[in-house]
Chains A and B, each alone.
Chain A
Amino acid sequence: MSIEVKNIHKKFGAFKALDNVSLKVDNGELLALLGPSGSGKTSLLRIVAGLDFHDEGQVLFSGQDARDQKVKDRGVGFVFQHYALFRHMTVFDNIAFGLRVLPKHLRPSQKDVQAKVMELLKLIQLEWVVDRYPWQLSGGQRQRIALARALAVKPRVLLLDEPFGSLDAQVRKELRMWLRRFHDEAHITTLFVTHDQEEALEVADRIVVMNQGRIEQVGTPEDVYHNPVNAFVLNFLGNVNFFHCRLAEGKAIIGDTELEVPGLSVDQPKHAKLYVRPNQFKLSRGPGKGSSLKATVEYVNPAGTIVKVNLKTETGERIHVEITQEEYKHLKLVKAMPIFVSLKDVSYSEYVQSPA
C-alpha cells in the first residue's frame, strides 16, 4: 500500500511539530525518517498510524483519505522504541493478541492461531521463548517479539518508531540487517524513524531528512550523502569540518593559505563556508608542490578500520581527519608532529555575503 501525506500541520501548544509536510511513500518501499529529536519524525509516524491527529492536511492510504479511519481499522503494524509488549502476557499471548481480538467471523481457530504464532516465532528465530514473559527476555529479543506481534495481523504498512534505539550497538546492527533482509522478502511498505544516520544509510531505500518540523531532503542514501541540499543535511549525515574562506577559480583561500580545490569553478571570487568531510583531506609530511595548510597532530586514534586524526592549524582551528591504515603507516603519524593538509575534494560550499 502506498502512503501519501499532504501539507500536514501539527502543533503542540505553541510548538510547531510539523510544518507543511508532504511526502509520498511508494508501495513496498522501505523509507527512513531521519532527524534530530524534536524534528517531527515521530509525530509524522504517529499521525500516519492514527495515534495522533494532524491539525491540517491529508493522510492518504492508497489514495484514500484516512481521516475517519480509526487506528484499529488502518491495518498498520506499529513497533515502539520501548517494545510496549504486554507485560502480563506470555510471548505466545502477545503475538496472538491481534488475532484474538479480530471480530468473531474473521477470528482464526485456536489451532490456526497456534500455527501462525509458531510460524512468526520461527521467522524471528525465537521459537524457544514461546512461554516466557517479556521481562525474561533481552532487549533485542523483546523487539523481535514486538515485530512478530505487529506482523501477526498482516498489516498493510509497517511503522517503526526508533525500533533499535534502546539496544546495544551489536544487537542494533544485527537487527537492522535482519529488517533489511525481511523487507527484501516481504516487500511490505515500511516507514521507520531513526536519529542514527548510519542506520538510515544502511537500511533504507530512501531517506527523508527532517529538521524543525520540515523536510529538508528526500533521496536515496547515496544521494543525500553525496549531494546534500544544505548544510544541515550535510552535518546530520556524518562528521564534517567547515572553514570560512574565499573561493576563487579552482582554489579556496583560508587565511593566507591558498588550497587547491579539484573541480571547483567560480566566475568571480566570493566569500563562502566550505564543508569538508574527514576523509576528503590529504595529509603529507612535506609541503608538496601545491600550497597546503600547516598543522600539528593533536590526537591519533588508530583503533578501527580507519584512523581518526585531530589536527590543529597554525591559526588555531581544529580539523578532524580520517585516513586509511595504509596512509597512517606510511605517514608514521605521532602526536605533536607537524603535518601538511591539502584537499582531495569538498562536500559542499555555501556562499555568504561577507566574511563572518
Chain B
Amino acid sequence: MNSRTEPAYIRYILTTIALVFFGLFIVLPLACVFYHAFDKGWAVYLKSLQNPDALAAMRLTVITALVAVPLNLVFGVAASWAIAKFDFKGRDLLLSLIDLPLSVSPVIAGLIFILIFGAQGFFGPWLIEHNIRIVFALPGIILATIFVTFPMVARELIPIMKSQGNEEEEAALTLGASGWKTFWMISVPNIRWGILYGIILCNARAMGEFGAVSVVSGHIRGLTNTLPLHIEILYNEYQSTAAFAAASILALLAIVTLVVKTVIEALIKRGHSA
C-alpha cells in the first residue's frame, strides 16, 4: 500500500481485529477438525475412514456431485449466455429465479421434493404404482443437490459474459463462422476460467450440502447417507474420532477448493490485464 492516510495505530487495530476474527472463526475450527481427527493416531483415523458405511457415504457423495455438477454446468452456461447476450422478455424474472435457491432455506428446498415426490406428495401415488423411488433414494438426493447448487455456475458466468459484450461473437459471424462454431471457438474460450471456477464452487457445495439432502435422504446407512449426513450420525453416536475423520475429508475438499480458486482468480486477473 502506498497511501498512508490513516495513522499507524488505526491500521494496527483494524488489522488485529481482522486477524483475531479470522483466527477465531475460520482457522481455529478448521484446526480443531484435524486435531480431533488425529487425536487417537493415524491408525484409528484410517480405520474409521475404511468403515463400509463411511466408504458408501463417500461413494454416494461423489456420484451425486458427478451428476449434479455437469447438469448445472450445461444449465449455467446456457442461462448465462441467454441472460448476458440477449435482451428478451422475462430476462429479469429468469435472473431472480436463478438466485432463488440461494435465498430459500435448504430445508425448504428438501421439503419441496418431499411434497412433490413423497408418498403423500403430488406424484406420490403414481410413483408408488410404477415402483419408482425418488425420495429416500439416490434420485431425490441428486434432485435436492441440483436445486441448491443451481445458481453456482450461472452466477459466475453472467458478469464475465456481460463485461465481454457481443462484439467478438459478432466479428466471428461477419467472418463467416456459424453460430455453433462461434460458440465453441470464441465464447467458450473467453469464459474458460469462469467455467472452471463455477465448477469448483458448484462441486464444493454439492459435496457439502446438508440441509436439503438431509430431508430427502431418509438416513439409510450405507445406502442414502452422504458424507455430511454420515458425519452427523457418527457425531450423534459419540464416535467423535470417526466423525472428525470424515469431517476432515470434507474440510480437505474445502481447502483444495480454496487453493484452486485462488490460482484461477490469479489467472483470470492476468487474462484481464492482458
Contact = CB atoms under 8 A, between A and B. Distances in A.
Contacts of B271: 87
B175 A153 contact: yes
B176 A153 contact: yes
Contact of A86 (B173, B174, B181, B186): B186
A133 B274 contact: yes
A98 to B, nearest CB: 4
B176 A87 contact: no
A14 interface: no
Interface string A76-108: 111010101111100000000110011000000
B175 to A, nearest CB: 4
A71 interface: yes
A173 to B, nearest CB: 25
Contacts of B170: 51, 71, 78, 80, 84
Q: How large is the interface on B (under 10, 10 to 19, 20 to 34, 35 or more residues)?
A: 10 to 19
Contact of A77 (B174, B181, B274): B174
B189 A71 contact: no
A76 B174 contact: yes
A86 B168 contact: yes
Interface in B184-200: 185-186, 189-190
Interface in A60-83: 70-74, 76-78, 80, 82
Nearest to A101: B177
Contacts, number: 67
Given A49-B174, A51-B174, A97-B172, A80 B181 contact: no
Interface string A149-164: 1101100000000000
A117 B51 CA distance: 63
Contact of A84 (B168, B181, B185, B273): B168
A51 B168 CA distance: 12
Contacts of A152: 175
A135 interface: yes
B178 A72 contact: yes
B237 interface: no
A84 B189 contact: no
B167 interface: yes
A87 B274 contact: yes
A183 B171 CA distance: 21
Nearest to A159: B174
A101 B175 contact: yes
A51 B174 CA distance: 8
Contacts of B186: 86
Contact of B171 (A73, A84, A88, A102): A84
B185 A101 contact: yes
Contacts of B189: 88
Given A78-B170, A135-B274, A97 B175 contact: yes
A87 B174 contact: no
B177 A97 contact: yes
A72 B177 contact: yes
8 contacts: A71-B170, A78-B174, A84-B168, A86-B168, A86-B186, A149-B175, A150-B175, A153-B176
Interface of B: 167-168, 170-178, 181, 185-186, 189-190, 271, 273-274
Given A70-B173, A78-B171, A133-B274, 11 more contacts: A71-B173, A72-B178, A80-B170, A97-B172, A98-B177, A102-B176, A135-B273, A146-B171, A152-B175, A153-B175, A153-B176
